[in-house]
Amino acid sequence: MPAKTRVPAVEGWFTTEGDEPALLGTRCRSCGTYAFPRESYFCKNPACDGREFDDVALSRRGRVWSFTNNCYQPPPPFVPTSDPFEPFAIAAVELADEQLVVLGQMVPGTSVDDLKAGMDVELVVDTLFEDDEHEYLVWKWRLVETGAPA
């Protein structure tokens, strides 16, 4: 069976190349503020009338701000990947340099029992769902093993 084509589940929100995937945000050329998802039209800073933005890869590591899980299958447009449904954890993660909090699913195998606020996590790219030809990708958070190199 030929390998499925790996495609991002949403265009332009994260990189998939190489070992170090990252969320793609923007930085305003006028005031320097960050935004995720990418800004293309207006800068949210009320004191700035900037209209031009540079794409930037956001920090790949952050700290857990809060977390929860889905014990029941969410409604469409969520696409279930298992039957019966397997609960999965979701974390809100603080990025220190950008000073913003980003949501993401935790990788499979990490449950809420494994999580505490303040824990270090890093970004990975993983399968969100598949169809006959494609594997749709999304960013997820993975706990950084204690003692692993920074």
Partner 1 sequence: MNNDKQIAVLGVGMHPWGKWGRSFVEYGIEAARAALRDAGLSWDDIQYVAGADTIRNGYPGFIAGATFSQALGWKGNRVASCYAACASGAQALNIARAQILAGLCDVALVVGADTTPKGFFTPVGGDRPDDPDWLRFRLLGATNPTYFALYARRRMELYGATGEDFALVKVKNAKHGLANPNARYRKAVSIEDVMASPTVADPLRLLDICATSDGGAALVLSSMEYARKRDAKPVRIAAISTVTPTYPQTIIEMPNFSTDSAAVVAPPERAFRDAIGFAAYEEAGIGPDDIDLAEVYDLSTALELDWYENLGLCKEGEAERLIRDGDTAVGGRVPVNPSGGLASFGEAIPAQAIAQVCELTWQLRGQADGRQVDGATAGITVNQGLFGHGSSVIVSR
Binding site for partner 1 (CB under 8 A): 9-10, 28, 31-37, 44-47, 65-72, 74-79, 88, 90, 92, 97-105, 112, 116-117, 128, 138
Query: Which residue's CB is nearer to partner 1, number 57 or number 138?
Result: 138
SS3 state at 139: strand
Query: Which residue's CB is nearer to Zn ion, number 7 or number 31?
Result: 31
Task: Compute the least distance from the CB of residue 9 to partner 1, in Å.
Answer: 6
Query: Which residue's CB is nearer to partner 1, number 9 or number 57?
Result: 9
* Rg of the chain, C-alpha, whole Å: 17
d(CA 58, CA 42): 19
Which chain residues interact with Zn ion by CB under 5 A? Answer: 28, 30-31, 43, 45, 48, 50
d(CA 81, CA 84): 9
Q: Which does 82 bind (CB under 5 to 8 A by kind): Zn ion, partner 1, none?
A: none
Task: Compute the least distance from the CB of residue 140 to partner 1, in Å.
Answer: 10
Q: For the chain, how long is the longest CA-to-CA vector?
A: 56
- State how far the alpha carbon of 85 is from the alpha carbons of 46, 51, 112, in Å: 43, 44, 17
